[in-house]
Amino acid sequence: PQYATTAFLKGLKQVDGWHDMPLTQAAQTVQVSAYPDAYAQWEQQAADLVGHYWNS
pLDDT, tens only, 1-55:
899 989 999 999 999 999 999 988 999 999 999 998 888 999 999 899 999 998 8
Under the banding of pLDDT at 50, 70 and 90, the label for residue 56 is: low
Whole-angstrom distance, CA of residue 45 vs CA of residue 31 = 19
SS3 for 3?
helix
Q: What is the pLDDT of residue 37?
A: 87
pTM score, whole prediction: 0.72
H-assigned helices in the chain: 2-13, 23-31, 43-53
Whole-angstrom distance, CA of residue 45 vs CA of residue 56 = 17
Cα(first)–Cα(last) distance of the chain, in Å? 19
